[in-house]
Amino acid sequence: MAEVDQARQGSPQTTGQGLSFKGLYEVFTAPGALFAKLKEQPRILVPYIVYAIVVAAFFYATADIIVRMQMQAIQERTQNLPPGALNAGTMKLFAMLGGIVFLLAPLVASALAVFFGNFIMGGKARFKQLLSVMLYGEIVYALGMIVTLPMILAKDSMLVSLSLGVLVPNPGPQNLLYVALSKIGVFNIWEIIVVGIGLTAVYGFSRNKGYLLSVLSMGMLSILNILSVVIGQAFS
């Protein structure tokens, strides 16, 4: 009997073994069960490292394409540029550093979830729990990066999208309609759904309320991106 009691006492500790790595595929196969476990045992390090590796590899592979498109856009907006005004090496460095924005996205989304979920919707969750949900949601988005990267390299253009952006006749990073519709994509929607499932588990909200909170947190990042394009056009 004592041995049974000891086994029962040890079971909560053993159930979390390997959870960080299992979550990398369970977020696709069994997100509800995964987030139920992450509510009690949130995981941060492993999903963040995996996400960072994918982001770094993506921007390293596409840096030259990004720089070329940026230089073309600058030359179209600015005439009579002096020779050497555009340093490709420096622009490539900044293009690669642009991945930092993606790495900050889970932190910003978690902060938004705290604001809307805890203070507006009256729920209760810790920042670490929410960050864990956002990071495993980003694993879905990272898969989208992996899927689109070969198409980007084959087309030699960043204007590759598995979204409604393909319907825009003249796509471009400064085309407001294209930027807006590109947010309505397979992996964007998939990520918001997965995060919604996670927020439902963490907060104990209804599924619809969890989806709404997902849009208000993770989806808000897409809205901020659209607003940045609007502001850029206003000052160009």
- What pLDDT score does 13 carry? 43
**Which residue did the predictor score with more confidence, 124 or 173?**
124
Answer yes or no: is pLDDT of 15 > 60. Answer: no
State pLDDT tens for residues 121-168. Answer: 999 999 999 999 999 999 999 999 999 999 999 999 988 889 998 898
Query: Is 199 inside a domain boundary?
Result: yes
Angstrom distance (rounded) from CA 218 to CA 228: 16
Q: What are phi and psi of 222, to 5 degrees?
A: -65, -40
Find the mean pLDDT for residues 41-69.
93
Q: Count up the domains in the chain and report the number.
A: 1
Which residues span the domain enclosing 178? 32-43+103-235
Helix (H, G, I), strand (E, B) or coil at 73: helix
The pTM for the full model equals 0.85
For residue 227, what pLDDT band results from cuts at 50, 70 and 90? confident
Query: Is 12 inside a domain boundary?
Result: no
Query: Is 13 inside a domain boundary?
Result: no
Query: Is 168 inside a domain boundary?
Result: yes
Find the mean pLDDT for residues 24-30.
97
Query: Is 74 inside a domain boundary?
Result: no
Answer yes or no: is pLDDT of 44 > 90. Answer: yes
- What pLDDT score does 68 carry? 84
Query: Is 144 inside a domain boundary?
Result: yes
Residue owning tokens 């198409």: 151
- What pLDDT score does 228 carry? 74
Buried b (16+ CB within 10 A) or exposed e, 119-138: eebebebeeebbbbbbbbbb
For residue 174, what pLDDT band results from cuts at 50, 70 and 90? confident
Mean of per-residue pLDDT scores for the chain: 85
- What pLDDT score does 220 carry? 86
Answer yes or no: is pLDDT of 26 > 60. Answer: yes
Query: Is 83 inside a domain boundary?
Result: no
Question: What tokens appear for 163 in the block?
Answer: 């979204």
Answer yes or no: is pLDDT of 173 > 90. Answer: no
Find the mean pLDDT for residues 97-102.
81
Query: Is 215 inside a domain boundary?
Result: yes
Helix (H, G, I), strand (E, B) or coil at 175: coil
Long-range contacts of 222-229 (CB under 8 A, 24+ apart): 222/183, 222/188, 225/179, 225/183, 226/176, 226/179, 226/180, 226/183, 229/173, 229/174, 229/176, 229/179
Nearest residue to 61 (alpha-carbon basis) of 87, 88, 99: 99
